[in-house]
Chains A and B, each alone.
Chain A
Amino acid sequence: MVNTDETTAAVSFDDVRKVYNDYFVAVDEFNAHIEDGEFITVVGPSGSGKSTLLRMIAGLETITAGDIRIGDESIAGVEPQDRGIAMVFQNYALYPHMSVEKNMAYGLRLTTDLADDEIERRVRETADMMGIEDELDSKPSELSGGQQQRVATGRAIVRDPKIFLMDEPLSNLDAKLKVHMRTELQRLQEELGTTTIYVTHDQHEALTMSDRIIVLDEGELQQFAPPDEVYNNPANRFVADFIGSPAMNFFEVASNGSTLVGDGFEYDIPARIADELDGSAGDDLELGIRPEDIDYDATGTNTVQATVEVVEVAGSDNFVYLDIEGTECRVRVPGDVKPAVGEQVTLAFDPADIHLFDERSGENLLADLRTTEPGTAEADTGADAAAAEQETEEVA
């Protein structure tokens, strides 16, 4: 049995692999270490293996190879109820025929020797914390989605686990409630200090909630880093494309010493970037730049000409969809900028904001450069700003 003395615990994954039916690899050679008390978000598209990862920690899926440790102990052979974990499911998985109180008390009754009045006290205390104290006698079907979500979270909290596992717990809520519950979950996690592993396909949740983000694709770890780093310095093209809304712009380019040549434009790069590219990729490069990093209606040299195709009005910001010789380019502009369709505009890319990817491997060729660059701190604010803006859009 996993040590239960600690109130919270670290989690380590050592070469974890999950294969279904001897052929489908859901998680492959996954290695990571989650610190005690961290809020970790696992993000990725459908089928990327994020829920499988969570379910292996919970004991709902067997581990094909490798090991997961909670604290210092391997969870191999440890029953789910003895792992010191509690899980919140996507559809809450509340027992429909039991009252809220019974739902919350069920785990305590089965796994502890606590007296009934102590269980009742704990349930009431947690229900108070979650704001559902008046609903203890209600059945789940009598509650709103938000209340059901609170009950599911309360059911996890009342067990006082060392680790919270949350499998897309907010995905069934409407946008406004989702933003509210997101804040509430963060507040609870900070209050309780419990290690939390939170699975979502929603990059906004990942950016706004977590200490660090695990990005998965096709069962493989793409990046494990704080939100700012994932946003500003993506490890590869997949992460760059998946994180951020609207997505990063990509242009196929070839390197010609200090110039990148794409369809319809040439872009001069500074010597430090050219040096970084020296000897790599050559013709098979992709230039990436986020929509908010593009200087719209620029003047001077080293610019790119584009034609306005669509203008999407989104309140505080507008999104302008441009055509650069057959390649689409999205630009985020202030709300008062509304160009006419067909208008010719001039764009400029700040070299500090560009990303260059190896077209074949997807690797971010400037990752090391940006990590050591003094200007990175400035860029770091980008993830927060983008997440805040996305949040505003969601509520709107």
Chain B
Amino acid sequence: MGQANRQRDANANGSTLVDLSKSSTREWIAGSAFALPYLLIAGTFLFGPLLLALYMSLYDWNALDPAQSQFLGLENYRILLSDPDFWNALWNTVYFVVLTVPPIVVGSLLLALGVNREVRGQWLLRTVFFSPYVLTVAVVGLLWTELFNASGLVSYYLGGGNWLTSHDLAMPAIAVATIWWQLAFNFIILLAARQNVSDRLYEAAKLDGASSWRMMRDITIPQMQNPLVFVVIVTFVNSFQVFGQPFIMTDGGPSFSTTTIVLYLYDTAFTGRQFGYAAAVGYVLFMILIAVSATSYYFLGGDD
């Protein structure tokens, strides 16, 4: 190859490299532009507050003049572990979780499987089951407060007077309202998941001799595994974070029997003005939620 040809090839290769580099820069800029809105919103409303709360939890935080805040290190966390009100709120929350998560998950699954069948008025049932989800927590809270008060329908038929002022019945009452309200969202997710399972699998199983129960065990549940894991985790998170229903229906009473962690956090921060301590409560809840989600994921074995 002559000198001139080699030079020409070198130039040609050089220009290809330059083109590639220009093109990848353009792609990087375009990609960043698309990601930027999310990064800005998530940074401002998610990661920023998350870091700020961690920072606040290490201080006796002065909300009016943050510069005057006093650094305490892990003192807020140490106090919290020996705070009976915190433990009361934690146990109330766990009680609420136990009362709500199984019925919401199992109930929404059964509703989804039931409504998936071809029955007359199927669309009406779907609408009826989903409709509570469009209500706000305030409407749900006020509606069920009326139903549970001494002259409401619940005590009329089941007795028990005003459930919301009963130490034993107040939390179950809040749980019932929550199940009615939250079932709808999970129902829609699981109905969509069930409808994604190919009918051919059921036909193959039928020819293989599977009973309805075996089909449920061997086809439906395994095929809905990922949405089920999602529903379980979301329900756990929602139930651990319960705030609106006890705030509206009982304000944590009677005698703190319905004070949940988030309600306690709210009272500590906005009534007691202990923002640093409330941030520490929030962080403990955050850790609990991570642990519960990871445990659910591990035991239920989602693929995605």
Contact = CB atoms under 8 A, between A and B. Distances in A.
Interface of A: 58-60, 79-81, 85-87, 89, 91, 93-97, 106-107, 110-111
Contacts of A91: 198, 200
A274 B298 CA distance: 82
Interface stretch (B80-88, B147-155, B162-170, B214-222): B214-222
B201 to A, nearest CB: 6
B207 A80 contact: yes
B219 A111 contact: no
A87 to B, nearest CB: 5
Nearest to A105: B208
B208 A107 contact: yes
A93 B203 CA distance: 8
B204 interface: yes
7 contacts: A59-B207, A93-B198, A95-B222, A96-B223, A97-B222, A97-B223, A106-B218
Contacts of A110: 208-210, 214
B27 to A, nearest CB: 31
Contacts of B214: 110
Contacts of A85: 207
Contacts, number: 54
Contact of B207 (A87, A94, A96, A97): A87
B206 interface: yes
Contacts of B223: 96-97
Contacts of A95: 201, 204-205, 218-219, 222
A94 B218 CA distance: 12
A273 B291 CA distance: 88
* Central interface residue in B201, B204, B219, B223, by most chain A CB within 10 Å: B204
B209 A87 contact: no
A93 B222 CA distance: 15
A60 B209 contact: no
A166 to B, nearest CB: 13
A60 B203 contact: yes
A81 B200 contact: no
A326 B210 CA distance: 60
Interface of B: 198, 200-201, 203-210, 214, 218-219, 222-223, 225
Given A91-B198, A106-B205, 9 more contacts: A60-B203, A80-B207, A81-B208, A85-B207, A87-B204, A95-B218, A97-B222, A106-B210, A110-B208
Given A95-B219, A97-B223, A86 B200 contact: no
Contacts of A81: 206-209
B204 A93 contact: yes
A111 B208 CA distance: 7
A308 to B, nearest CB: 48
A274 B223 CA distance: 66
B206 A107 contact: no
Contacts of B201: 93, 95
Report, nearest first, the 10 A-B pairs whose CB atoms are least far apart. A81-B209, A107-B208, A93-B200, A111-B209, A110-B209, A93-B204, A97-B222, A80-B207, A106-B208, A60-B203
A265 B209 CA distance: 63
Contacts of B225: 97
Contacts of B203: 58, 60, 87, 89, 93
B130 to A, nearest CB: 27
A87 B205 CA distance: 11
Contacts of A96: 223
Looking at B200, B201, B208, B222, which has the most chain A CB atoms within 10 Å of its CB? B208
Contact of A107 (B200, B209, B219): B209
Contacts of B209: 79-81, 107, 110-111
Nearest to A156: B207
Contacts of B198: 91, 93
Contacts of A111: 208-209
Nearest to B211: A110
Chain A CB within 10 Å — which of B198, B206, B214, B223 has the most? B206
Given A95-B201, A95-B219, A96-B223, A58 B207 contact: yes
A148 to B, nearest CB: 13
Q: Which of B201, B207, B219 has the most CB of A within 10 A?
A: B207
B163 to A, nearest CB: 44
A395 B158 CA distance: 75
Contacts of A58: 203, 207
